[in-house]
Structure 1
Amino acid sequence: MDRNLKAISEFVQSELGHETSGHDYQHIKRVVNLAKLILAGESANGELVLISAYLHDVIDDKVTDNPAAKRKLSN
């Protein structure tokens, strides 16, 4: 895993590691693994797809009361 994806993975784990809604870090890992499988058969920007897979729930209103504040944190 390259350095940027590792840092993103660690950030997401710290944000969602204790989530109990089903959108926890284990869910993120499943989404990332599925994204990798899909990427194997597609021509796409793999880094962008994996970053999106890692971050997709960080600003979701299912896991935060303030998505706007999380967007700022993620920037």
Structure 2
Amino acid sequence: TITSFLQGGPEAQMHIKSLLKRTANLSPIEAQPPTAEAIAKARASEEGQGGMRSFLERKPKPWLSDDS
């Protein structure tokens, strides 16, 4: 949902928009390699690590303020 998207990290939002633009006219098979690469980079990023850590520790996401 849009709510879930808006709660994602700022870097993740920027990268997903870019990925959607790059893969919009590709078949699902053609879109797999750039999608897999984007997921791997996101998970390895500082923001991705912080998000995973907050999930595993059941803590708020580091990029969300208290008023979100």
TM-score (norm 1): 0.37
Choose 1 or 2 for highest CA Rg: 2
Greater helix proportion: 2
